[in-house]
Structure 1
């Protein structure tokens, strides 16, 4: 008997759950049926794939090797199915995009609007998560594209630079305040006397800010921590607190004012991530082109060479 796709999925489920009972519940089949199917697979490949002697069911060495290739086969099959459904004329399609949370404050809205206007038949699945999870998801074929920052990436991830993100100090702007074309930069040491509202530590931006302050020996007075850029902008525009955010966020909020710092915060390169050698759908290609066009139109700085 040749192994079938269900055999691969059943074995992977048992390996992930470490239990026939829990795997059967997740698969919505009976435990005896699951056990019988896995035994059929073991007879077909001529090797014991699971160690059933302990409290938890574990993969044998042969099982671990088999599961590694089975996952790759299922991933390739899913890509093949998407390729068949993908139409080059973009009358329909589906895009799975993962991004770090900061981008929801200024980049996602314009990108989705441009995609919907140009290709209304493409549906979009949008997920916020840390960059480590984005890259792991790309490797597992859970996402098609990722929006994140340039850094050392996991093996198998390729990054295309989009633009350079600049950051600055942000405060509330008075209702009748007019933009000052050349205000003097604020010395970084003066940040120690300000009350700050900053993103929480699970944001990449917070780590970037903390590193900048530490490098200049500044111990900040952090009055508020928030896990949402939108919440942070509302807090700052209604209080005397200051924050540090990408300049692009300030551009979209007339009630916020950017204050230059001396020295300036280090810039970051925003990148579009994908898995190397992954199938690139027409929807992915269209989104990549739209993203490059949009950052040029909005005047974001070009990526550093």
Structure 2
């Protein structure tokens, strides 16, 4: 009988360091197949995502909805499930909570990229956008990198306060930032996870910065100013999560950057760089069904 995991049980099955390791292992597995996801527009302005993936033993389908204005209804923007099957028998073996998987695997992807590429991992960590992804990245960078200080920038003072309180409950030092652009000069670790409906950052990151840009995952969404992205392309290293970013990385596409020419996280896992980059690193994450398959594999192991 299939196991139906609650959000709490799903989180407990996906500790961030183990999930980052599972993602790295998946990127080395030649049996992994991930078809293009289907995005169905919904009448209310949201989207339904259908994301299948499989390897030699496990198959999954992620079914989630993304409703940008659900906060006005007191509901989560992301809802749905990840259904896990035995790839040999076809039996359904588990159902994981979709929003929990999305939050944790996205942060674990950023963690893996930071472990491979960040010039510095000691922080402070600047989080721009204090929603679900802000919280998951805070937890992931604490668990996987050992950061001890976080700066939080958010248009919502209540959301910023809630994230800072959570950080302090985990033993971190935390402070609220009014001007995210000014804070970039002080933070070598940066995560942007806004709603990406407009540009949130117009200043240049530090020369030793690692940026995980996760908010914009369609061509029309944007968090970083085009001129900053072009500067990063000239002076630093741009990396995307997968080739799906070629048509989804709104920040980079709106800057006129040839995304197809950029290395992917899988390229760097399979061919690690001889040394850390000398300049700033900008990691653009758009999402991929393979990350959900990695989460299913991680949960099965545990």
**Same fold, judged at TM 0.5 (above):** no
- Larger gyration radius, structure 1 or structure 2: 1
TM range (shorter): under 0.3
Scaled by the length of structure 1, the TM-score of the pair is 0.26
If the length of structure 2 is used for normalisation, what is the TM-score?
A: 0.26
Q: Larger helix proportion, structure 1 or 2?
A: 1
